[in-house]
Structure 1
Amino acid sequence: MDVEHMTGSTLEAMALAVERSAVVLICMSQKYKDSPSCRSEAEYTYKLRKSFIPLCVQEKYEADGWLGMLIGTKLYFDISTERLFDQQIPNLMKELGDRGRLSSQRQEVDDEIMTPGYVAKLTAVQSAKPSSANWTIGDVAEWMSRLNLSEVPHELLQLDGNMLWESKKMLETSPDFLYNYLHGNLKMNFPDILKLSRALRQL
């Protein structure tokens, strides 16, 4: 998330995120190109010779200027429309491969990045199933209500903690299947899917 006039600890957090990354996804658009903070982040990615994958998120956008020079002739994925998003996400997953994938023995969970201030908290190490695996159906329903979804599909309200944990594992191992099910079968909109995915990763 780009917040204007970011300085101090914000820039440090951005730099740390790039330094710790296995691969960087650059979401190209006119607003991205015009943002000084986005440019700093992209140039730092290039300076550190970090692997990066360009994504076009604005329909019919063609990168020029500093962004065009950075991207060059590099392969990019156009996800600027819902149809293209559905087509390209599986290809993007293949391109990412195992880069950044966590081992089953050590699973790092990022705490939420807060704004304003963009305070990146330290990661915690999780060695076993959390207490959420023991939640009842009512506990899960209450957890769902706190996600501020525009609508909670009835099927999700039938999950208990163990099934919720299996959904979390599915997000890690088969994200394309889970997305297609949530979007195609349960008719969830994209913002709601993002909220649910983020919440599952933080369990």
Structure 2
Amino acid sequence: MESHYKPDGWLGMILGAKLYIDFSGKQAFDSAMAKLIKELGVRGREDTQTDIVVAREAAEVGAGAPVPAAMMSSHPLDREAEFLTWTQEDVAKWLEKNDLGSFKSEFSEYDGKLLRRLQGVRSEAPEFFYTMLTTKMGLKTMPDVLKFTEALDNLTI
């Protein structure tokens, strides 16, 4: 790329949705680690018991942010299981709650299980995910895309 190039269009959208965490010492390591743990959420995890151990260890080393109570419960996936049972009406309410009510018609066929698959598409094929959001699902502006991805992230926190 050229020096001082500022990406726009699809490349700008992809780069704008990325989170950069600086571990080089400009901010406290514990703070950076807490941000990384929050960003990763449950992605890539296989064993829920390991999740509880990791969360407890992060709390013990003072990773900064307090560990959510849901991660310390005997059933750490209760909240996720609840969203998997959502109906199309629940998804419409979720869109309204996240200031995305104008996109209810585009997501009218989505239920909790399809939202979960959409999360999978985001991690497996991010370029396709963002292209579909902007071309097929009607999210034309960066704020709309960012609001939607934030809401999607918050489903599993």
- Larger strand fraction of residues: 1
Aligned structure 1 segments of 4 or more residues deviating by more than 3 angstroms: 99-102, 119-129
Say which SS state the counterpart of residue 155 (structure 1) adopts. Answer: coil
8 Å contact from structure 2 (residues 119, 152) kept in 1: yes
Say which SS state the counterpart of residue 105 (structure 1) adopts. Answer: coil
The two structures have a TM-score, normalised by structure 1, of 0.43
Structure-2 separation of matches of 1:187 and 1:145: 16
Which ranges of structure 1 fall in alignment gaps of 5 or more residues?
Answer: 1-59, 63-77, 93-98, 109-118
Matched, 1:81 2:12: no
Q: Hey, what does 1:174 align to over in structure 2?
A: 125
Higher RCO, 1 vs 2 (CA within 8 Å, ≥6 residues apart) = 2
8 Å contact from structure 1 (residues 136, 160) kept in 2: yes
| CA displacement, residues 61-103 of structure 1 (integer Å, 9 cap, x when unaligned) | 84xxxxxxxxxxxxxxx554225426x75xx9xxxxxx98642
Structure-2 separation of matches of 1:131 and 1:150: 21
**What amino acid sits opposite 1:122 in the alignment?**
V
- Larger helix fraction of residues: 2
Distance 1:177 1:154, change over 3 A: same
The two structures have a TM-score, normalised by structure 2, of 0.54
Q: Hey, what does 1:133 align to over in structure 2?
A: 84
Corresponding pairs, count: 110
Sequence identity, in percent?
A: 23
Q: Hey, what does 2:31 align to over in structure 1?
A: none
Q: Hey, what does 1:104 align to over in structure 2?
A: 45
Which ranges of structure 2 fall in alignment gaps of 5 or more residues?
Answer: 19-35, 52-63
8 Å contact from structure 1 (residues 106, 127) kept in 2: no
